Amino acid sequence: MPDEHNITYPYIIDFIRGQIAPTSGILAQMEKYAQKCGVPIADPETAELLKLLCLLSKPLRVLEIGTAIGYSAIFMVQYLPAGAKVTTIERDADMAQTARQNITDAGLTGRIDLLEADAQVLLPVLDGEYDMIFLDAAKAHYIHFLPDCIRLLRPRGLLVSDNVLYGGMVASRSLLNRRKITIVKRLQKYVHAICHTPDLASTILPVGDGVALSYKI
């Protein structure tokens, strides 16, 4: 059976991760830091999905909501076309400072623009269109971010939402932790919304902690 932290069987996770080449350099250092300090970053299989999506869709403008220490932004840039840029939003000052240093150390200050702000405040005043949006911020706020994500995403653009199954709790009441009930209810509302919004074609993948892919029609 899956354990309380994963949405699938441990032997499947181990097998998938065994096929993924290990990272090196700044990304490997960031993985060690995240593990030591308990900072959430993209699961290896989720990062591989992001890699494939970047290679397939070739986005020139990427918006990331939820920077943390900058891991996903730095990871994605490797697989974007020349000249492509990532704009990433982080509200926590300490996280933002760490992310800036990591971006500098990676030599990517010209390709990753970090905005230190609360996404709920910033998104409504953000303009322009993005080819791809990666949503990986506070899970309870996904439903509040959705209208602006749809507005900011260009037609035929891709919205990628991480952790939408939230340890399986979104799909099964038997796994529900009562302390997480508000987050779970809002994630359920979010999943229903992206799957029933006429402007979006969405699917939920049991990858990592659950990844939703939404294509703007």
**pLDDT 10s digits, 16-60:** 999 999 999 999 999 999 999 999 999 999 999 999 999 999 999
Which pair of tokens denotes residue 6?
């994963």
**103 SS3 class:** helix
Give the pTM.
0.96
Residue 26 half-sphere exposure, CB side, CA atoms within 13 Å? 19
Query: E strand or H helix at 102, and its extent?
Result: helix 93-105
pLDDT score of 10? 92
Where in the chain are the domains?
10-216
Residue 8 confidence class, pLDDT cut points 50, 70, 90 = confident
Residue 5 confidence class, pLDDT cut points 50, 70, 90 = low
Mean of all residue pLDDT scores within the chain: 96
Q: Are the C-beta atoms of 7 and 209 separated by less than 8 Å?
A: yes
The mean pLDDT of 178-207, rounded to a whole number, is: 97
pLDDT score of 2? 46
Q: Are the C-beta atoms of 86 and 62 separated by less than 8 Å?
A: yes
d(CA 106, CA 193): 37
Q: Are the C-beta atoms of 85 and 115 separated by less than 8 Å?
A: no
Q: Evaluate whether the domain defined by 10-216 bears CATH number 3.30.390.30.
A: no
